[in-house]
A and B are shown apart, each in its own frame.
Chain A
């Protein structure tokens, strides 16, 4: 069977009713980009000879999952995009229009070298409780790299890792940090580079095994998406428990004498696509933020399952339309009257910070933006403390 036929079948594309709800909801389409998930589905099924259209459209998708959310028919559109990108990368060498000239993908590919001896833990300070060995490890992700590369927009994603460890310490967990941890490979996976993605998976699995850990705690939604969903498909007999830090907090925070100090602010929350639509975690972040006294959480016009993407995914196809989505999102956030935008993904933080700092906007979408884990780590305390 032809590979495209297989993909159509596997991702239920024949169930498409051509109702067009996907295109009507697609954030990229709504900013005026000539891109339509409905038309792409039609072309792949009925006009496959229009290769130029298909090849362009497949890379235009943000993979935010809004189309699948709206589809009344159960078409797995994000899965279709992922499979098509893998196919086009393998057969035609396509990789999409890479933002930042592909630097992020470069360091991910460099991490596929088995001999690599990284210095990725220089930032671990005395006050962070970490263990040399144990059952539970914390997956740091690309934060040390991001903070160097994106120094120009002054993002601080490393503080998310530090705050995650502080929160774990509060839950009486001293996680192991893995010196040989690699990037989870999310961006290589979503740009079709299956071969190097699988290499990273295998190297990471070897690292987990060598460290003797049984459970990996993850804070980044993209890492969680890969480690919990895609890695078990690459590694036969994958036997490591993957835990999302927000889930762990939700479970543990009520145990034994923990409380939150009040924070007299008005805030709004950005659902990251990998956490919301792909992992269904809408309640956990809201419940946790709800525990902070005096923090008033206002919802944006589009939130929860309808949350708008941060404009970019996998560090490809960043363009004027991405910027427009980001500006629209920030305007929605400001319209709630919130002073602070809380997000749960370092990529949302990077992309929205980029738009906030855009000089052409002259500060019109300016607002404080923080990661949920940093907010929680700053406010958590012992009873009466």
Chain B
């Protein structure tokens, strides 16, 4: 859902690849509501919907970077809202460890972000995504374009 307004907003900026890994429950309800309300989303942003952030492990976050993401955001439920129990907690632990791995690899830890949302916070979610996009824009694409992308697919 890329509008011409979005295109203008991103004009003149380096193209970065943004990936959101989104829990099916509260955050996706927000995302869906934002779409229904036609709120503008960052243009380079892609969403991957999973049943629960607890399904995501260190490997899958790391693989996003291996395949060429310049920034990854985990969109989670609030700790007390998880439909399954431990989901957001697993997310926090994985983010903590993958950030350490990114640091070892010399990749800015700020490229990995996690945020929790209540089911009604569509405006907060959209604002968060724009702020995330700005943050990654400021960091720019990962070292030397496709340097890290062994399997960097075409946009």
Contacts and interface: CB of A to CB of B under 8 A. Distances in A.
| Majority DSSP secondary structure for residues of B touching A | helix
A117 B147 CA distance: 12
A119 B109 CA distance: 12
Contacts of B144: 113, 115
Given A113-B147, A196-B150, A106 B62 contact: yes
A238 interface: no
Given A113-B148, A116-B105, A116-B106, 4 more contacts: A100-B58, A102-B59, A112-B150, A148-B97
Contact of B59 (A101, A110, A119): A101
A151 interface: yes
A119 B66 contact: no
Given A106-B66, A112-B150, A119 B58 contact: no
Can you list the 7 inter-chain pairs with the closest CB atoms, starting with the nearest? Answer: A101-B59, A103-B59, A115-B143, A117-B106, A113-B147, A148-B100, A106-B66
B104 A148 contact: yes
| Majority DSSP secondary structure for residues of A touching B | helix
A106 B104 contact: no
8 contacts: A101-B60, A106-B62, A110-B65, A110-B148, A116-B143, A118-B105, A119-B106, A148-B97
Contacts of B103: 119
A106 B104 CA distance: 14
Contacts of B97: 148-149, 151
Interface string B50-62: 0000000111101
Contact of A118 (B58, B59, B104, B147): B104
Interface string A92-128: 0000000011110011011111111111100000000
A4 B24 CA distance: 47
A106 B105 contact: no
B66 A118 contact: no
Interface residues of A, number: 24
Most chain B Cβ neighbours within 10 Å, of A101, A110, A116: A110
A102 B57 CA distance: 11
A323 B104 CA distance: 30
Contacts of A103: 57-59, 62-63
B86 to A, nearest CB: 14
A343 to B, nearest CB: 24
Nearest to B100: A148
Contacts of B105: 107, 110-111, 116, 118
Contacts of B39: none
Contacts of A114: 147
Contacts of A53: none
Given A110-B66, A117-B106, A196-B150, A149 B101 contact: yes
A300 B22 CA distance: 50
A144 B104 contact: yes
Most chain B Cβ neighbours within 10 Å, of A117, A118, A148: A148
B66 A109 contact: yes
Nearest to B62: A106
Given A116-B143, A119-B103, A149 B58 contact: yes
Contacts of B60: 101
Nearest to B151: A109
A382 B60 CA distance: 49
A119 B150 contact: no
A148 B65 CA distance: 17
Contacts of A109: 66, 150
Interface in B42-86: 57-60, 62-63, 65-66
Most chain B Cβ neighbours within 10 Å, of A106, A119, A120, A151: A106
Contacts of B63: 101-103, 106
Contact of A119 (B57, B104, B148): B104
A170 interface: no
B62 to A, nearest CB: 5
Contacts of B62: 103, 106-107, 110
A332 B111 CA distance: 47
